[in-house]
Amino acid sequence: MLKTIIEKEVRELISSSRFAIAMSVCAVLIILSFVSGAQEYHAAQRQYEAAKAENLRQVSGVTDWLMVRHNRIFLPPDPVAAVVTGVSNDIGRTVEVSGRGELSAEDTRFEGEPLFAVFRFLDLEFVFGFVLSLLAILLGYDAVCGEKERGTLRLVFSNAVPRATFVFGKLLGALAGLIPVLVIPLLLGCLVLVVMRIPMAAVDWVRLAFVIATGLLFVVVVVAVAVMVSAVTHRSSHAFLALLVIWVFAVFVVPRTAVLLAGRAVDVPSVDKLAAEKAAYSRQLWQQSREQLASFTPTKTDDVGQMMKEFQQTMEKQSDERDKNMQELSGRLNESRANGQRIQAGWAFALARLSPLASFTLAATALAATDLKMKDRFEDEAYAYQTDYARFMKAKTGMVPGAGMIIMKMKHGGEEEPKPVDPRELPEMQHRKPPLAGAVTAALPNVGLLMIWGLGAFAGAFIAFLRYDLR
């Protein structure tokens, strides 16, 4: 009996013109999202290579490592991030590393190309979250009430059809019709990545597969909600209107309101406020340094070289102290801000999860490693690099740069012309994607929520249909 209903649903669905139109739109958008993602990846890769080359070029003109003032590191583009952009275009992709002090990522994708910030990118998250959810509603809104309106429900239930079987058949039939038709363009999209030579590692494919599976789970949830609403209402126009309102709330209102409410509920000191506090403390430390420098007395006044050496040592000692003090304050302020942000994000996400879309977005971005933690990960890598860089510079120059020191090099006659430094000696930033297991673990609660949403909606459809007026 269930098989009969499922077969009928699939046959009815795929023979309808609205299905053909909706699925054509889906197929085009899905493939387009892969194509545009691949193009974006290549563009970002070119930009990344050019930026790295320019950084090395600037270093290559220098004859002493002490003169290297601007060493920058760049966040390399990620193939999976090209199809699930997440926050990857909103975070800074460049960090200037001086050897000490605070680091901050700058130069976001949208800074360089603000046009893209207007409408954002057509990525898989958008296609699943906005387009497919709407089309799933379009295909499922009249699953039950449409049969009542058309008069077929009475004829169906003149047979020995259990209500549970019918509503389950409706849901499974809609999914059996929908999912294979979605999987085909998704597979074609994967083929696009291969054809366009996107360097996807095995783990990237696994990540992408998980993202797609989560997206399909989200579609299942939307279909289940659509069937539930259609089993509550008696007119398809009412069901469509109700689902449209639910969609608007789920897609736009709930996530944004959650962020707004969390922002109001948890006070997080602004970056400007922190910067002002840090600047004030820095001024105070510099003032102390200047006062100490004023009382600098070399042990020997007849040996300029020795005098300069002592001066530099004093300067470096002061720099280290300033740096230590600044790090302490910055650490304290940053930690306080990070804690506030964590609490804020926790509240925002908890509230936003009232919408299945938020759960899907959080799961997909966690799997693609383009979630909020992307910024933290890049900054952690930048700090790790700064340690390596400081060690490298110490070995090369005997001191750690970035203290605002004035370097004086005395050239004596007869000395050889200095050779330019080899920029290839500079340490490389070690960029590692978060491990897949960690990404899956981070995504699991949201995937679980999506499952609960799906089961809840189905249970709701079932309960509603138990009381449905079949006449």
Partner 1 sequence: MAEINQPIPYLEAVNLTKRYEDGLLALDHVSFSVFPGQIYAMLGANGAGKTTTINLFLNLIEPSEGEARINGTVTHRDPLVAKSQVAFVSENVMLYGGFTAVQNLEFFARLGGKRHYTRGDLRDILLRVGLPSEAHDKRVRGYSKGMRQKCGIAIAILKDTPAILLDEPTSGLDPKAGWEFTQLLGSLRQEGKAVLMSTHDIFRAKEVADVVAIMNQGRLIMERSAAQVAQLDLQQLYMDHMAGRAELSATEV
138 near 178, Cβ under 8 Å? Answer: no
Of 12 and 106, CB closest to partner 1: 12
Contacts of 448 (CB under 8 A, 6+ apart): none
- Distance, CA of 143 to CA of 131 (rounded, Å): 19
H-state helical runs in 198-270: 202-232, 236-248, 254-265
Does 151 interact with partner 1 (rule: CB under 8 A)?
yes
CB of 27 to partner 1, least distance (A): 21
Give the residue with the Cβ less far from partner 1, 156 or 253. 156
In 224-381 the beta strands, taken as DSSP E runs, fall at none
270 sits near partner 1 (criterion: CB under 8 A): no
**Tokens representing residue 104 in the block:** 């901050």
* The one segment of 160-168, 208-216, 229-237, 449-457 that binds partner 1 by CB under 8 A: 160-168
Interaction between residue 273 and partner 1 (CB under 8 A): no
Judged by beta carbon, residue 424 or residue 467, the one nearer partner 1 is 467
**Residue 237 CB, nearest approach to partner 1 (Å):** 18
Q: Does 237 bind partner 1 (CB under 8 A)?
A: no
Nearest to 124 by CA among 219, 46, 51: 219
Only one of the segments 73-81, 157-165, 281-289, 327-335 lies at the binding site for partner 1 (rule: CB under 8 A); that segment is 157-165
Q: Does 455 bind partner 1 (CB under 8 A)?
A: no
Nearer to partner 1, 39 or 152 (CB): 152
Nearer to partner 1, 4 or 63 (CB): 4
Of 39, 60, 63, 152, which one interacts with partner 1 (CB under 8 A)?
Answer: 152
Q: Which of 61, 112, 162, 418 binds partner 1 (CB under 8 A)?
A: 162
Build a one-symbol-per-residue string for 108-147: x at contacts with partner 1 by CB under 8 A, - elsewhere. ----------------------------------------
Which residue type, as a one-letter code, is found at position 467?
Answer: R
470 part of the interface to partner 1, by CB under 8 A: yes
Structure-token pair, residue 348: 């925002």
Q: In this chain, which stretch among 149-157, 190-198, 341-349, 391-399 interacts with partner 1, using CB under 8 A?
A: 149-157
**Smaller CB separation from partner 1, 158 or 430:** 158
DSSP for 43-106 reads HHHHHHHHHHHHHHHHHHT-SSGGG---EEEEPPP-HHHHHS-TTTTTS--EEEE-SSS---EE
Minimum CB distance to partner 1, residue 259 (Å): 44
Q: Per CB under 8 A, does 471 bind partner 1?
A: yes
User: Mask 7-36, x = binds partner 1 (CB under 8 A)?
Assistant: -x--xx--xx--------------------
Report residue 377: phi and psi, to 5°: -65, -45
Q: Running DSSP on this structure, what letter comes out for residue 106?
A: E
Nearest distance from C-beta of residue 8 to partner 1, angstroms: 5
Interface with partner 1, residue 157, by CB under 8 A: yes
- Is 467 a binding residue for partner 1 by CB under 8 A? The answer is no
Written as one letter, the residue type at 361 is T
Is 160 a residue that touches partner 1 (CB under 8 A)?
yes
Nearest to 345 by CA among 375, 384, 303: 375
The arrangement of strands across the sheet holding 105-106 comes to 71-74, 94-97, 105-106
Task: Please identify, among the stretches 40-48, 148-156, 447-455, 456-464, the one whose residues bind partner 1 according to the rule CB under 8 A.
Answer: 148-156
CB 397 within 8 A of CB 99: no
Nearest approach, Cβ of 149 to partner 1 (angstroms)? 9
Residue 4 interacts with partner 1 (CB under 8 A): yes or no = yes
If one asks whether residue 158 binds partner 1 (CB under 8 A), the answer comes out as yes
Cα–Cα distances (Å) from 300 to 40, 289, 406, in that order, read 62, 22, 21
Contacts 24+ apart (CB under 8 A), 444-447: 446/214, 446/353, 446/359, 446/360, 446/362, 446/363, 446/366, 447/214, 447/217, 447/359, 447/363
* Cβ contact 177:14 at 8 Å: yes
Nearer to partner 1, 20 or 260 (CB): 20
Q: How far apart are CA 181 and CA 176, in angstroms?
A: 9
Among candidate residues 337, 345, 333, the one with its CA nearest the CA of residue 265:
345
Q: According to CB under 8 A, which one of 53, 155, 201, 253 is a site residue for partner 1?
A: 155
Geometric angle at alpha carbon 109, from 376 and 365, rounded to 5°: 50
Instruction: Give the chain's largest Cα–Cα span.
Output: 113
Kindly state the number of chain residues that form the binding site for partner 1, as judged by CB under 8 A.
23
Positions of E strands within 285-345: none
- Cβ at position 15, least distance to partner 1 in Å: 5
Q: Rule CB under 8 A: is residue 161 a binding residue for partner 1? A: yes
Residues that bind partner 1 (CB under 8 A): 1, 4-5, 8, 11-12, 15-16, 150-152, 154-162, 469-471
